[in-house]
Amino acid sequence: MPPKKKQKVSTDTESTKKATKKVSVSYSHWLMKSEPESRFENGVDMKFSIEDLQKCSNQTDCWDGVRNYQARNFMRDQMKVGNKIFFYHSNCKVPGIAGICQIVKEGYPDHTAFDKKDPHYDKLSDPKNPRWYMVDVKFERMLKRFIPLSELKALYLKHKQSDGPLKNLALFTAARLSVQPITSEEWNFIMELENKESTA
């Protein structure tokens, strides 16, 4: 179970309140970022591609290592079994959406936060009062074609002008979040892209 995104620890104060207070629409679609190319953090390789997920036992793995409150809150409070997820490849030669997976286990404590040897260890996370949560995700399928960030970016810019479905895509409006909500409208639009020729 390789660690996922690099997200540094911070203290649990304002951000938690801010992030949990906001009761918003509930989502059933998500985008999760992972790095498909090797990058070492405290001597541990962060690489975890969709192919790596496919190779996992039962094609399922825990999404550990997220250390951002907004992302944690989505995993702890909002992600439900059966929700669909875009598996996004980030920090690599060609970033973009590679495939689809789904939630098979809802939020539970991220044990890597308790492990001193883990690169995402957080001494402030107490097993009796865990600070960080994760979900389990299962591979569903690859997209018929990889949808590159460049194509999504071009559409996002176009839609901002034309009031189109991707005008608020979190990939650009909350670019640094590693676990992002996707509206049904966004999901459906992107799902249709895989049947079309690339425009980027």
Partner DNA sequence: GCCAACGTTGGC
Q: Which residues here bind DNA, judged by CB under 7 A? A: 5-11, 13-15, 33, 68-70, 90-92, 95, 149-150, 153, 174-178
CB 147 within 8 A of CB 7: no
The sign of the torsion formed by the CA atoms of 39, 84, 186, 145 equals positive
Minimum distance of DNA from residue 200's CB (angstroms): 10
Neighbours of 47 (CB within 10 A): 16
What would you measure as the largest C-alpha separation in the chain, in angstroms? 51
- What is the closest distance, in whole angstroms, from the C-beta atom of residue 188 to DNA in the complex? 22
At closest approach, how far in Å is the CB of 185 from DNA? Answer: 22
- What is 115-151 written as a DSSP string? -TTSTT--TT-BTTB---EEEEEEEEEEEEEEEEHHH
Q: Which is nearer to DNA, 15 or 60 (CB)?
A: 15
Distance CA 31, CA 84 (A): 9
81 or 174: CB nearest DNA: 174
Residue closer to DNA, measured from CB, 13 or 24: 13
Compute the distance between CA of residue 183 and CA of residue 30 in angstroms, rounded to an integer.
8
- Residue 103: which of 74, 82, 133 has the closest Cα? 82
Q: Which CB atom, from 28 or from 150, has the smaller least distance to DNA?
A: 150
CB-based contact 7:62 (threshold 8 Å): no
**Least CB distance to DNA at residue 88 (A):** 8
| Cβ closest to DNA, residue 7 vs residue 78 | 7
Nearer to DNA, 28 or 91 (CB): 91
